[in-house]
């Protein structure tokens, strides 16, 4: 039986269409998750919602306890995870407000607890990460976009950077040479930890701005907030149509 979790990022600190039934505080061997697990119903289907940055959006990307978050979701019986990520566009064809369904990721983060393996004496364990996102869940999201009548970029490479600062123009040029289409600060180690736990994980990325150097001037936070608002409205619509599909409706 499938149980879906939605991890909300910047711009999606709560689900307006979620009928809340319960909030559950979790403890894990890796500390506390970002917030209590919110149990509720979307269109009659049970969903667990977790705001990645805490309910008050107070946890910066490099300080998120990704291990605790993913472990807690697994303990709650979650099988599938849709992660919403705010990103900047390196590929200028992806205008602010665009929804992107990345199919690849490059990890540029450092100093984050990035694996569940190695903390106890045990044989060395390697996971296959050739395709970092769950294709079955990506298909559900593509179908949800189609049902909602929303445009969705069906693929792209996500560059995960450390944050919390934005990148320099030179760094963005490097990421572009590396093949990245979008850049964000929360994609890793979340995706890899989900794979280690056997969770079906996909990212729904919301383009909030053009990356540094892609347009004239500096990155404006008020403009980002405006694009995030419109982009997350689309993301909510997509989720409303995708969730029944995941549960076979």
Q: Is the C-alpha dihedral spanning 148, 153, 159, 161 positive or negative?
A: negative
State yes or no: 209 annotated in a binding site.
Answer: yes
Peptide bond between residue 38 and the one before it cis (omega within 30 degrees of 0): no
State yes or no: 10 annotated in a binding site.
Answer: yes
Half-sphere exposure at residue 12, Cβ-oriented, CA atoms within 13 angstroms: 29
State yes or no: 173 annotated in a binding site.
Answer: no
Beta strands in 4-113 (DSSP E): 4-8, 19-24, 37-42, 45-51, 80-89, 99-100, 104-107
Residue 208, token pair as written in the block: 């909030």
The 10 Å Cβ neighbour count of residue 57 is 14
| Rg of the chain taking only CA atoms, in angstroms | 17
State yes or no: 52 annotated in a binding site.
Answer: yes
State yes or no: 185 annotated in a binding site.
Answer: yes
Q: Judge whether 155 and 141 are in contact, CB under 8 Å.
A: no
Q: Judge whether 44 and 20 are in contact, CB under 8 Å.
A: no
Q: In sequence order, which residues have a C-beta less than 8 Å from that of residue 173 and are 6 or more positions away?
A: 213
Q: In sequence order, which residues have a C-beta less than 8 Å from that of residue 166 and are 6 or more positions away?
A: 88, 211, 212, 219
Q: Binding site: what residues are annotated? A: 10, 52-53, 185-186, 209-211
Q: Binding site for substrate: what residues are annotated? A: 185, 209-211
Q: Binding site for phosphate: what residues are annotated? A: 10, 52-53, 186
């Amino acid at each position: 039986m499938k149980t879906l979790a939605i991890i909300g990022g910047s711009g999606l600190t709560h689900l307006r269409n979620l009928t809340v039934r319960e909030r559950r505080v979790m403890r894990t061997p890796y500390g506390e998750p970002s917030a209590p697990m919110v149990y509720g119903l979307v269109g009659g289907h049970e969903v667990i919602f977790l705001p990645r940055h805490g309910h008050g959006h107070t946890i910066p990307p490099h300080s998120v306890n990704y291990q605790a978050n993913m472990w807690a979701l697994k303990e709650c019986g979650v099988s599938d995870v849709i992660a919403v990520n705010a990103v900047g566009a390196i590929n200028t064809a992806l205008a602010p407000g665009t929804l992107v369904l990345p199919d690849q990721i490059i990890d540029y983060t450092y100093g984050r607890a990035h694996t569940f393996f190695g903390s106890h004496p045990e044989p060395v364990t390697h996971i296959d990460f050739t395709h970092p996102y769950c294709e079955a869940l990506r298909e559900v999201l593509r179908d949800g976009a189609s049902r909602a009548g929303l445009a969705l970029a069906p693929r792209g490479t996500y560059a995960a950077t450390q944050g919390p600062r934005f990148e320099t123009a030179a760094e963005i040029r490097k990421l572009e040479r590396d093949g990245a289409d979008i850049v964000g600060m929360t994609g890793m180690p979340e995706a890899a930890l989900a794979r280690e736990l056997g969770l079906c994980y996909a990212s729904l990325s919301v383009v909030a701005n053009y990356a540094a150097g892609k347009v004239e001037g500096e990155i404006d936070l008020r403009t980002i907030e405006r694009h995030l608002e419109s982009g997350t409205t689309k993301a909510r619509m997509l989720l409303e149509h995708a969730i029944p599909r995941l549960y076979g409706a």
